[in-house]
Chain A
Amino acid sequence: MQVAELLRFLLYPTFYAGMLRMMVPITLGAVGEIISERSGVVNIGLEGIMMLGALVSTYVGHFTGSMVLAVVSGLVVGLAAGFLHAGIAVNLAGDQIIDGVGLNLFAVGIGEVLLYLTWGSFATSPQLPPEVRVPSIHGFSPFVVLTLLVAAATWVVVEKTRWGLRLKAVGEDPVAAEAAGIDVFKVRTIATVVGSLLTASAGVFLSLDWLGAYTKNISAGRGFIALALVVFSRWNPLTALLGGLIFGFLFQLSQSIPSGVVPDQILWALPYLVTLLISAGFLAKARPPGAVGRPYKRV
């Protein structure tokens, strides 16, 4: 087969629609994590939050038939997970990694248990009725627009406002920030919760918009890909958006190459390989916020 023949899919708009779909969840997660890490709090639990957001919104949508309730409940999961992580990592100055690992385990387990107990399947819930799914506007998912707006707004807030200045001060040097009269705990808590909320909205996108159901392992590593994207973006929300588009293009490419040309496993593995290579290749000089990952205790 000719290479040109193989790459014909690049000419069709469906390819680019798919690329935007791929871009949305990782970018929302990454922008959320940027807000959180800029304040000095790492959240490894993005994957679990995405899953739980998708799970709960599917559940509520399935049983109430209301899209609004489904979306809201998914976001409430994000709030709850954010406050849990902030409680442990900010207020109690605990380890920032362990509870996130726990949340990821919990999400995988509970998703499987509920899928099976509720719908008798280990693979997927039934398709949600159309009135529960988020409608597209002129063929565009509102989440694509939301992602663009969120990335741009976050950039403006972080770089151009007093709020952003406080956020960065807390993340770079909490002791100095506190001395300047900033409430470190409050800023970190808000940043963590907002970050978690955005990640949960990525989960809502997966279930209510993209797939219209909850499927086993629905986030498929996107939470971790978002973490890699944070470093790729050098903690800049606009670069994260650009990175999201690049990742989205590569992921969609790996799905669009017709099967039979190379073994499917190689195509399926490609997004993870690309993430690993990009993390290893371009990131050597990136400098994280000064106090990222370090708990703050008042002395």
Chain B
Amino acid sequence: MRLDLRRYAKPLAESALSVLIGVAVGTLLVILAGYSPVVFFKALFGGAFRSRNAFLDTLSYMVPLTLTAISFAVAARASVFNIGAEGQMYIGALVANAIGVMALPNGAHQVVAILAAFLAGGLWGWIAGILKAKRQVNEVVSTIMLNWLAFYLVNYVATYHLYDPKAPYKTEYVRETARLPELIPRTSLTLDWVLTILIAFLMFFLVWKTSLGYEIRATGINPTAAEYGGVDPSKVISISMFLSGGAGGLAGAFLVLGRFGFITTTLTNILNWGFDGIAVSLVGRNHPIGILFSALFFALLYNGALEVQVATATGGKTGVPIELVLAVMGIIVIAVAVPGLWDMVQERLLLRRKRVEVRGEAAGTVGGE
């Protein structure tokens, strides 16, 4: 089997162009706000490389970005728009935290917490799936409502039941037996990074190499035709939403068992990764391998933006807050949505090249030899 690289060239170019547009608009905003573009760029693209730890930290940001992107992508393959990775992640984080404070032996503790978070996130996603399959409820509406419900549910449990008596603004730390081992000592890069990459390959296998994956893709391309072909679209939709939710739940579990060990009662340390995943997935063309690269890029951007916040806060000015990344991601997603964006650009470039050629011919400089 030969790999035809040309097949991937166009989607790659389109993704790159969308990212470029997003970063350009972000830069424009920063300049309009009166900041130096040089400082901004140095921080944005240099932030992740300023130290060994910063780079490893960047790699670990790939974990929630990849998993929430997979959450979006699995459903998207069945033509379901799962905007609910955010809430599924909250639920996963809560369940992992609740199990993490229990007394269980090391090894088994992590496995139980991770599986429970996967199941809980999966069930949360499945609600939207079954509502769409059985009651024709638009999944964009239902997943957004489920995000709010998840937020208040986690906020409630964290505030009244799981809080740390010594620091009631956050939940109790999970026990050491539940923490994921560090890949490199004293860094935020933990075992979840390896697991995440395995999960991406698992998604590839599931969607492209199994009959369930075939049914998911068939439903995504044309549900009516799939139904005539013997596929039960409502089953496929609810299963794919379960798997989506599971991936979102894992994102939350890994944030708790890996990076943080707790969540704040208002969830401030885990907010927004679910929404970021939408952009990561779209730029990665809803494909697990594309998502890994796209997640790496957005992790660099995210760490860079943290540095921007620090670097721009000089001379009495307030720093550009990290939420700039959300705005940039929004622009990128809009750019991805423009069909034939690359064709338009290419057409312009080609037209210009042709014009040059024509002019060259007229002057007698082309093709003489």
> What is A's interface to B at a CB cutoff of 8 Å?
44, 48, 84, 88, 92-95, 97-99, 101-110, 112-113, 116-117, 120, 122, 221, 224, 227-228, 231, 263, 265-266, 268-269, 272-273, 275-276, 279-281, 283-284, 286
Q: Is B185 close to A, CB under 8 A?
A: no
Max count, chain A CB within 10 A of own CB: residue among B142, B325, B326: B326
Q: Which of A110, A263, A272 contacts B148 (CB 8 A)?
A: A272
List 10 tightest A-B contacts by C-beta distance, closest first. A106-B330, A109-B326, A102-B333, A109-B327, A105-B330, A112-B323, A99-B337, A102-B334, A265-B156, A98-B337
Q: Is B329 close to A, CB under 8 A?
A: yes
**Could you say which residues of chain A place their CB within 8 Å of the CB of B326?**
105-106, 108-109, 112
Contact assessment for A107 and B330 in the assembled complex, using a CB-CB cutoff below 8 Å? yes
The closest CB in chain A to the CB of B282 belongs to: A98
The closest CB in chain A to the CB of B34 belongs to: A117
A117 vs B320: C-alpha distance when bound (angstroms) = 7
Contact assessment for A276 and B330 in the assembled complex, using a CB-CB cutoff below 8 Å? no
Contact assessment for B149 and A268 in the assembled complex, using a CB-CB cutoff below 8 Å? no
CB of B223 to closest CB in A, whole Å: 13
The closest CB in chain B to the CB of A271 belongs to: B148
Number of A-B contacts defined by CB within 8 Å: 158
Query: With A105-B326, A266-B156, A275-B141 in contact, do A92 and B340 touch (Cβ < 8 Å)?
Result: yes
28 contacts between A and B (CB under 8 A): A88-B334, A92-B339, A98-B282, A99-B334, A101-B81, A101-B278, A102-B331, A105-B278, A105-B326, A106-B326, A106-B330, A106-B331, A106-B334, A109-B328, A110-B29, A117-B33, A221-B145, A228-B138, A265-B159, A269-B148, A273-B145, A273-B149, A275-B141, A275-B145, A276-B142, A276-B146, A279-B142, A281-B135
Contact assessment for B145 and A101 in the assembled complex, using a CB-CB cutoff below 8 Å? no
Max count, chain A CB within 10 A of own CB: residue among B137, B144, B318, B325: B144
**Could you say which residues of chain B place their CB within 8 Å of the CB of A84?**
334
Q: What 1/0 flags go to B37-70 for Cβ under 8 Å of A?
A: 0000000000000000000000000000000000
Q: Which of B152, B318, B324, B339 contacts A95 (CB 8 A)?
A: B339
CB of A233 to closest CB in B, whole Å: 13
Known: A104-B330, A276-B137. 18 other contacts (CB 8 A): A101-B83, A101-B333, A102-B336, A105-B329, A105-B333, A109-B329, A110-B330, A228-B141, A231-B138, A263-B160, A268-B152, A269-B148, A276-B146, A279-B131, A279-B135, A279-B137, A280-B135, A286-B136
> What is B's interface to A at a CB cutoff of 8 Å?
29, 33, 81, 83, 131, 135-138, 140-142, 144-146, 148-149, 152-153, 155-156, 159-160, 275, 278-279, 282, 318, 320-321, 323-340
The closest CB in chain B to the CB of A99 belongs to: B337
A106 vs B275: C-alpha distance when bound (angstroms) = 11
The closest CB in chain A to the CB of B81 belongs to: A97
**Could you say which residues of chain B place their CB within 8 Å of the CB of A276?**
131, 137, 142, 145-146, 149
Contact assessment for A265 and B321 in the assembled complex, using a CB-CB cutoff below 8 Å? no
The closest CB in chain A to the CB of B128 belongs to: A276
CB of B14 to closest CB in A, whole Å: 12
A104 vs B318: C-alpha distance when bound (angstroms) = 25
The closest CB in chain A to the CB of B33 belongs to: A117
